Chains A and B, each alone.
Chain A
Amino acid sequence: MNEPREITLNGMKQSVEGDAALLNHLKAQGAEPPHLCYHESLGALETCDACIVKVNGEYVRSCSTTINEGDVVETTGDDIHEAQLIAMDRILGNHELYCTVCDFNNGNCEIHNTVKEMRISHQDTPHTGKDHAVQRNAFYRYDPDQCILCGRCVEACQDLQVNETLLIDWTLERPRVIWDNDTTIDESSCVNCGHCSTVCPCNAMMEVGMEGEAGFLTGMAEENFRPMVDITKNIETGYGSLMAVSDVEATMREERIKKTKTVCTYCGVGCSFDVWTKDREILKIEPQAEAPANGVSTCVKGKFGWDFVNSEERLTKPLIREGNEFREAEWEEALYLIEKKFKETIVEKGADALAFISSSKCTNEESYLMQKLARGVIGTNNIDNCSRYCQSPATMGLWRTVGYGGDSGGIGDIAQAELVISVGSNTAESHPVLATRVKRAQKLHGQKVIVADLRENELASRADLFVRPAPGSDLVWLSAVTKYIIDQGWDDKSFLRDHVNDVDEYMASLDKYTLDYAESVTGMTKEELIEIATSIHEAKTTSILWAMGITQHGGGSDASTAISNLLLVTGNYMKPGAGAYPLRGHNNVQGASDFGSMPDRFPGYQFVTDDDVRARFEENWGVELTTKPGLNNHEMVESIHNGDLEVLYLKGEDMGLVDSNINHVQSAFEKLKFFVVQDIFFSKTCQYADVVLPASPSLEKDGTFVNTERRFQRLYKAIEPLGESKPDWQIIKEIANRMGAGWNYEHPGEIMDEAASLTPLFAGVSYDRLEGYDSLQWPVAEDGTDTPLLFEKEFPLPGGKARLWPVEWTKPLEFEDQYDLHVNNGRLLEHFHEGNMTYKSEAITGKTPEVFLEVSPDLAKERKLEDGTKVRLTSPYGSVKVSCVVTDRVFGNQLYLPMNSSGEGAINYLTSSHADKDTDTPAYKEVSVKMEVLEPKGKSPLPKINHRYGNPQPQIGVNVEEKWARNDYIFPGDIVKERRGNK
C-alpha cells in the first residue's frame, strides 16, 4: 500500500507515497476540496458529500477514496463544483446562518468558513427546523435546527470515546441526533465527556458555558433572538456581507476571550487543551487534535470540572491558628511566623525535626523547589510526596526488573497492542481517556482485552476475558501464567538470552506456582489461566496495565515485579505496543518523584548517598547536603507519634483524609508542634494546621507536569491568582528566602533550567522545547532527543540487561470472622479523590451528589438491603456511614466504596496502617468490615439521572448506509451526471 503510485491530478502527473487517503493527499497538494464531516481525529464519515471530486471520470467522496496506481483525479471543473454546491445547499438547509449572533462564531466555525471559501452567496433549499426541541443538560446542549447531520458527534461517541450513547435516527422524516433510545440527555448513558461538543463543526452541539457569553450580541434576551436573526437575514445581501460582519465580530471577540493552553489537573493521562476564559469566567475547554496524549478526547472532569477555580470556598488569605480557631492574616505575619518556628526548631532540635510533603497536583518546578527547600535550605532529606500512597510499589517493581520506573511506551503503544491485560485497574473511570484508546482498539481493530479485577468495571464488562482472582492474590496467578508459558516452551528464549539476567535463578523460583496452586489460592480456573497464557503467546505484542488493585497491598511491590517478570519472559519489552504500564493516578504523580520529592533521591532518581551526585548539587546550590536518607510519609507519621518530628510543611495533599488509617494520622497531626498546610481549599488536613497558606491551582500559574507516559507538558497561566493566593513556587521561594536562601527565580522556566542542568534523566528539557503542544518523554538527552519507547537498545541496569526478580506471595491481612465483608475501594468517573474540586461543580454534583456503597444483589437479598439503605461499616480501625446501591458490578460478599468523600463515608476511616513491605505504601485494598443496617429505607444516593442507569446503543459509527438508503437521498454526483447527460 505504501509503494509509490503514479497518478494524474488535474492534468499533472505525480507520484504519491505513504498515505493513500485521497483527501489527505489533496490537502497536502493544496487542492483541498470543501468538507464538513471529515475530521482528522475521526476519519471519513461520508455524510456531507461536500468533498466530491472526480476519479477516473466518476464522482467520488475524496474522504473515503484511496489512491490507486494510474488514477486520474480532477478537483476543478464546473460539474465538480456543481456537485459540491448541491451538497452544501443541503447542509445549509439544515443550518441557519446567523453568525454574528451565534456563540460559535469564533473564527473556527467550519460551516461559516466553508461557505466563505466556496463564495456561496445564496442557498436554494430554505432552512427549515426539525420539529424537535433543543436538548440540554447542565453540561451541553443540542440544537437540532442547527445540526447538519454530519455525524461527527456520533462517531466520537461510538468509536472514539466508545460510550455508545449517540446515534442519528435516519428513519425519522427529519433525522436528528438521539440519545440511547431517544431519551433526554440526562436520562441517557451519556457520561458528559464532551467529545460531541468538541468535534461538532458548528453550534449544534455546544457547551452551555458558551451560551450567551462568547459574542458581543449573543447575550440578548431570549425573546429578542428570533427577531434579530430575521432582521439580519432580511438585511443581508447574500452571504458575503454577513460573513464580513461576523468575521469582524469574531475578531473583536479575540480581544476579550483568552485561549490558553493548559494541562488537565486531574488524573495522570495528561490531557492537554485550550481553556477559553473571559476575565475569570471559564467559557469552555477546547481540546486540540495536536494534543499528544489525548488529541480531542476529554472526560467529564477535564472538560467540565473547572468550577472549583472560581469557588467561593477558595482560600484567599493566609490563616493563623489561635487556640482552637483560625483567623485571617496578612502574608507578612504568616511568613514571619513560619520563619520563626522553622529557625527555632532547627536550633533546638536539628533539621531532621522538620519534614516536607510535596504534591502530585503541583508542578515539577514546585516539586523541585520543595525538595531544594528541605535539602538545601533546611538541611534534611525528610521530603516525600503522595505517590507513596499509590505508585511507589509499581516503581519499585520496575526498578528491580527493568531499571526505570515509568511506562514502557505511550498511550499510542497501548492502543496498538494486540493484547491488553488490565489488572487491578478501574481504567475506564480512573483514566477515562486512556481507556477510550483500549475500547476503540478492541471495537474497531480487534485488540484482545483481558481484565482481572474484583469488580465488573466498564472495561471488564467489555473484555474478551474477565477473571476475578481472590483479593490480593494477583502475584500467584501472574507467576502461574509465567510458569505455564515457560513449561510450554513459549518463553522468548532469544530475548532472555540477549537482554535478561538472572534467568535460571528466577525459573527455579517458579516451581511452586503450579496451576493447581494458583487455582486454590486465586479461585480462578485452570482454563482461565491457560487462556491468559495462550493469549499472551499468540499475541505479537502484550501491554499490561495495572493500578492500585495491585500496588495497595502488603506485597504490592512484589506483585508489580511479577507483572514485569511475565513481560520479560515473553519478550514483551523493547518493542512498540508492548510493555509495562503502571497507570499514574494524579496529573503529576510521576513528576513529583521525577523532581526529587523523595527521601532518598534527588531529581532524576539520583541517590542522596551518591557522593558524585551530591557534589554536583552542592556546587550548584552552594550548600553542604546531608547524606542520610530521610523519612517517607508513612515514617513521618510514626516519627510524629514518637515525638521526633515536630514540624511539618505540607502542600497540596489532604493527607488527613487520603492516607490510610486516618484516625492514626489525624492524631499525629494533633501532636505536631508546628504545622504549615498550603492548599487551594480549607481541607480536612488544614483543620490541624497552625498556618494555612492560600495557593493557586494550575490555571493560575505556569509550569510543567509529567504524565503517565513520562511526558513533559507545559501549562500556561490563564487567569490571575484569586484574591491573595499565590502559586506554590512563589510561596516556597518566599519561605526559602526568609530562611536565607537568596533565590531569585522570576519564572518557573528558570527553575526548570536549573533542574535540567543537574539531572541527566532530563538534561535536554527546556521551556523552549515544550512550547505550546510540544512535549518530551524522558529520558531526554541534552540535545533534546526524547524517548517515546523507553527501552530500545538496552535496559539501564548492569550490562544493559534487565533482570528477572524472584518474588514470594505475601498473604493479605486476615481479619476476624466477624469482619465478613471485603471492601474494595477506588475511583468514580465523575469525582476525583476526596472530591474537593469536583464537588464544586454543580453540574457534576447534580449527577453524582454523594458517595455510595455498591453491594451485590446476593448480599442485598441476604441482608435485606436496597438502594438507599443506610449502613454502618466497621473495621478494626474505624467506621463509616454510607447509603447502598445494589448493583451486579460487585459480587457476593465484596463491597465497593468509592473514595470520593470527605465526610462520614470516607474510606480511610476503615483502612489500617498495614503497608507494602517494600515501600510503605498503605494496603488500602486489604480491608474487611462488618455491616449494620442503620436505616432500611432511604433515598437512593445515586439519582436516576446518573449515566449508570442509561441504556447504551452500540453501533459502528454513524451508520451512513441508512442515510444513503433513504428515498429522499440522491448522491450529488448522480444528480450532476443526470443533468449533464440530459443536455
Chain B
Amino acid sequence: MAKATKVVHKMKVDPETKHARELHELEQLLMEHKEVLGDLLSIADKMKDREILDMVGSSLGQSDKVIHRIVTALEDSDAPQSIKNLLLLFQLLGTINMSEIEPLVLKLNTGIAKAAEYEHKNKPAGYSGLLGALKDPEVIEGANVLLQILKGMGTSKDAEENVKPQKERVQNPEREMDEEENHPDTKKLPKPYGYALAAGTGALLMIPLVFLRK
C-alpha cells in the first residue's frame, strides 16, 4: 500500500567525501595536463610581475563600463580614421605588383643618385644645353618611362577604389550608378583620358625645371 506522496529528501552528500572526490578529480586533471600547466603558470608569473593579470582582472570585472568608455571615446576621436587608414593601407599594399615596380624603383634610385651627384655650378645651363641633353639616350629613356606613368595615371580606376566610406558616398547620390555605367566593358573612352594626356605632357615638360631650380 503506497500512499501518494510528494515528499522527496535530497541526498545528503557528506562534504568530506565530496571534497575528497573533487580533489581526486582535480589531481587527475593536473596530472594529465602537467606540461601545459607548467608553461601556462610560467607565463602567468610574468604577467603577474608586470601587473597584467591585475589589469585584465579589473577590466573583466568592469567590462561593460570599460567597453562603454572605449566605444564612446573611440567614436569621438580620430581612432576610427586611423583604423580605416590602416585597413586601406593593407588593401593598397595588396594591389601593388612588386615585380613590375622593382625596375622602376631601381631607375628612380639611379635618378636620385644622379641628382645627388649633380653639382650646381652657379651658371645657367642654357636652353641649348637642355636641348642637347634631350639627345642623351638615358634622358630619352627616362622621359619615356615617365610618360608611361603619366599615361597610366590618366586611366580611370574609380571602380576599383576602396577609399569610399558609406557616409561619403551617400552625399553623392548619383555616383554609384555612374560608376556602373563606367564599367570597363562599355568600351567608351573615359572622358578624363584626353585631359590626363595633355596634363601629363605639360608635367613632363616641367620636370627639368624642377631639377634645375635653386
User: Using a CB–CB distance below 8 Å, which chain A residues touch chain B?
Assistant: 78, 81-82, 85-86, 89, 121-126, 220-221, 223-224, 227-228, 230-231, 233-238, 240-241, 317, 319, 321, 324-329, 666, 669-672, 675, 682, 684, 687-690, 979
Chain A residues with CB under 8 Å of B83's CB are 235
Chain A residue nearest to B186 (CB atoms) is: A78
Q: Contact between A78 and B80 (Cβ–Cβ < 8 Å)?
A: no
Tell me which of A85, A227, A324, A684 contacts B177 (CB under 8 A): A85
Give A125 to B174 CA distance when docked, in angstroms.
Answer: 10
Chain B residue nearest to A245 (CB atoms) is: B87
User: Using a CB–CB distance below 8 Å, which chain B residues touch chain A?
Assistant: 1-11, 64, 67-68, 71-72, 74-75, 80-81, 83-84, 87-88, 91, 162-167, 169-170, 173-177, 180-181, 183, 185-186
Least CB distance, B169 to chain A, in whole angstroms: 4
- Pairs A–B under 8 Å by Cβ, sample size 16: A78-B183, A89-B176, A121-B164, A124-B173, A227-B75, A231-B71, A233-B167, A234-B81, A234-B165, A237-B84, A237-B163, A325-B5, A325-B8, A327-B11, A670-B1, A690-B2
Tell me which of B3, B9, B163, B180 contacts A326 (CB under 8 A): B9
Tell me which of B2, B68, B72 contacts A321 (CB under 8 A): B2
Other than the given A231-B71, A237-B84, 8 more pairs (CB < 8 A) read A81-B180, A122-B164, A123-B169, A224-B64, A235-B80, A317-B11, A324-B7, A670-B2
The interface residues of chain B, by DSSP majority, are classed as helix
Chain A residues with CB under 8 Å of B180's CB are 78, 81-82, 85
Chain A residues with CB under 8 Å of B162's CB are 121, 237-238, 240
Q: Contact between B170 and A689 (Cβ–Cβ < 8 Å)?
A: no
Chain A residue nearest to B68 (CB atoms) is: A224
Chain A residue nearest to B179 (CB atoms) is: A122
Tell me which of A122, A233, A234, A327 contacts B9 (CB under 8 A): A327
Chain A residues with CB under 8 Å of B81's CB are 234
Give A122 to B91 CA distance when docked, in angstroms.
Answer: 17
Least CB distance, B176 to chain A, in whole angstroms: 5
Give A690 to B2 CA distance when docked, in angstroms.
Answer: 8
Chain B residues with CB under 8 Å of A227's CB are 68, 71-72, 74-75
Give A687 to B5 CA distance when docked, in angstroms.
Answer: 5
Most buried by B among A86, A122, A675: A122
Q: Contact between B2 and A235 (Cβ–Cβ < 8 Å)?
A: no
Chain B residue nearest to A327 (CB atoms) is: B9
Chain B residues with CB under 8 Å of A78's CB are 180-181, 183, 185-186
Chain A residues with CB under 8 Å of B177's CB are 82, 85-86, 124, 979
Least CB distance, A597 to chain B, in whole angstroms: 24
Q: Contact between B4 and A666 (Cβ–Cβ < 8 Å)?
A: yes
Chain B residue nearest to A228 (CB atoms) is: B71
Give A955 to B7 CA distance when docked, in angstroms.
Answer: 55
Chain B residues with CB under 8 Å of A122's CB are 164, 166, 169, 176
Most buried by B among A78, A237, A689: A237
Q: Contact between A237 and B88 (Cβ–Cβ < 8 Å)?
A: yes
Give A237 to B91 CA distance when docked, in angstroms.
Answer: 10
Chain A residue nearest to B9 (CB atoms) is: A327
Q: Contact between A220 and B7 (Cβ–Cβ < 8 Å)?
A: no
Give A669 to B2 CA distance when docked, in angstroms.
Answer: 7
Tell me which of B4, B6, B8, B173 contacts A328 (CB under 8 A): B8
Chain A residues with CB under 8 Å of B75's CB are 227, 230-231, 234
Give A221 to B11 CA distance when docked, in angstroms.
Answer: 40
Chain B residues with CB under 8 Å of A241's CB are 87, 91
Q: Contact between A223 and B68 (Cβ–Cβ < 8 Å)?
A: yes
Chain B residues with CB under 8 Å of A228's CB are 71
Give A227 to B71 CA distance when docked, in angstroms.
Answer: 6
Q: Contact between B7 and A326 (Cβ–Cβ < 8 Å)?
A: yes
Q: Contact between B68 and A326 (Cβ–Cβ < 8 Å)?
A: no
Chain A residues with CB under 8 Å of B4's CB are 666, 669-670, 684, 687-688
Chain B residue nearest to A89 (CB atoms) is: B176
Chain B residue nearest to A97 (CB atoms) is: B166
Give A124 to B179 CA distance when docked, in angstroms.
Answer: 12
Q: Contact between A237 and B87 (Cβ–Cβ < 8 Å)?
A: yes
Q: Contact between B3 and A670 (Cβ–Cβ < 8 Å)?
A: yes
Give A126 to B176 CA distance when docked, in angstroms.
Answer: 13
Chain A residue nearest to B180 (CB atoms) is: A82
